[in-house]
Amino acid sequence: MAVFMAILAFILIMLFTCTALLKWNELRYRKKGLPPGTMGWPVFGETTEFLKQGPNFMKNQRARYGSVFKSHILGCPTIVSMDPELNRFILMNESKGLVPGYPQSMLDILGKCNIAAVHGSSHKYMRGALLALISPTMIRDQLLPKIDAFMRTHLINWDNNIVNIQDKTKEMALLSSLKQIASVESSSMSQKFMPEFFKLVLGTLSLPIDLPGTNYRQGLDARKNIVSMLRQLIEQRRASQETHQDMLGYLMRSDENRYKLSDEEIIDQIITILYSGYETVSTTSMMAVKYLHDHPRVLQELRKEHLAIRERKRAGDPIEWNDLKSMRFTRAVIFETSRLATIVNGVLRKTTKEMELNGFVIPEGWRIYVYTREINYDPYIYPDPLAFNPWRWVDKSLESQNYLFIFGGGTRQCPGKELGIAEISTFLHYFVTRYRWNEIGGDKLMRFPRVEAPNGLHIRVSSH
């Protein structure tokens, strides 16, 4: 009896403590003018519910509190906006007290010179340096030949094999970017670089708790190792005094490049390029393979476009700029894949001063999560929104509609958008003209916070 009473007393104390902590955290963030909502636990907030439930968490909160509500996610007090008009205003008005508000884990791991971390004149300068690397001229003359050569090699010997397309597209996205950044050294450094980079990516979307074994700590350690590798590469190139026709070579050539960056800025710029391209290119490529498998009519139309390109060429001829520009249906497939799979769920901003939005008063330093996922399924913009229908994008006016946020928005629209499209298009060209494939195993897909197949996405490949 005494033991039972002790256990009961312990349970009651725990319930009282938990209730008190929740109440204290709500009172801590109660301020006149804030949107309604809940803040969850101290430190952790509602991060667990946000990451596990994803879209359902958002829909439930909107049903309770409306399209603008408060929460506490990824270590920050946050206003979530699911209002299309407000989202557009926020993305288009960075100069009016709204700057990038990425989670602390992402800022720490990607570096303080990362383009997502800077704003104002620094952002303009860093964005200019980045755009100079991935301009249409650079893609045409320098990058597309490297992408083409890489894709040919990467897709060799898939015939009569079972392939985990998730692993293959992850390798593809990272190794292709490495080749563009450091063409000569990319092969020798890739095996050491890859595992560190994958840990870095995992750490960017985690609670910033610096304890052994956490994703955040592993991400920080991975960043240190990657910085060390890149710094060594820069020093080796300076010592050799050779000229290299790649991104790193361009960044290091102060005589030809009007954007003069320090070594720290160069390294963070490289990490930015690798990180921003990796997830969108790999996931879009994987999901395109999935959707093409599930929609034979779309695959037939895509294959027709690419076989027509091959018929104009000799067997060993590479994909060139004019070929890329002619891939109109391929571009439509990429846009529709990005929309339906929702590779990007939203973007984060932070207030630099107290401001009023939609009648609510947002304190200085709060994050605003511009949640754009639901716009992708708006039937007024995309009739029959859950259907995979690339033909809707053939009329390019849809690319310029006001609520297209699949590549970001405003001055922060993804600068590597066209480079990513070039990589995915070239991958699809060689994949659909060389192979047929069938899914095996019915592998499960997760849609939030990242689109991924936890057990892989396996296909059986055969020659076309």
The number of C-alpha atoms within 13 Å of 149 and in the hemisphere containing its C-beta is 9
**Fold that domain 74-463 belongs to in CATH:** Cytochrome p450 (1.10.630)
Strand partners, 446: 452
The string of pLDDT tens digits covering residues 354-391 is: 888 888 988 888 888 888 888 888 898 899 999 999 99
Closest CA to 324 of 196, 401, 210, 422: 422
pLDDT of residue 22: 47
Read off the tokens for 370: 């511009």
Closest CA to 270 of 245, 299, 246: 246
| Helices 263-294, 328-341: inter-axial angle, 10-degree rounding | 90
Taking 70 as the pLDDT cut, the residues of the chain under it are 1-31, 41-43, 94-95, 116-120, 122-123, 254-259, 403, 408-413
What's the farthest any 2 CA atoms get from each other in the chain? 88
**Strand 367-371 and strand 76-81: pairing?**
parallel
Read off the tokens for 425: 């298009």
> What phi and psi values does residue 116 have, to the nearest 5 degrees?
-75, -20
Rounded Cα gap, residues 223 and 266, in angstroms: 14
Sign of CA dihedral 101, 107, 108, 113: negative
Closest CA to 227 of 111, 126, 115: 111
pLDDT of residue 210: 87
The structure's pTM equals 0.86
Rounded Cα gap, residues 60 and 215, in angstroms: 28
Contact assessment for residue 429 and residue 320, using Cβ atoms and an 8 Å cutoff: no
The string of pLDDT tens digits covering residues 207-229 is: 788 889 899 999 999 999 999 99
Sign of CA dihedral 100, 87, 377, 424: negative
Q: Scanning the structure block, which residue is given the tokens 């590779």?
A: 343
Rounded Cα gap, residues 281 and 285, in angstroms: 6
Contact assessment for residue 449 and residue 345, using Cβ atoms and an 8 Å cutoff: yes
The domain spans of the chain are 74-463
pLDDT of residue 117: 64
What's the Cα-to-Cα distance from 427 to each of 235, 302, 322, 346, rounded to whole Å?
33, 13, 16, 26
User: Around Cβ 340, how many Cβ atoms within 10 Å?
Assistant: 20
pLDDT of residue 233: 93
Amino acid at 78: T
> What phi and psi values does residue 355 have, to the nearest 5 degrees?
-145, 160
Burial (Cβ within 10 Å: 0-12, 13-18, ≥19) of residue 174 = buried
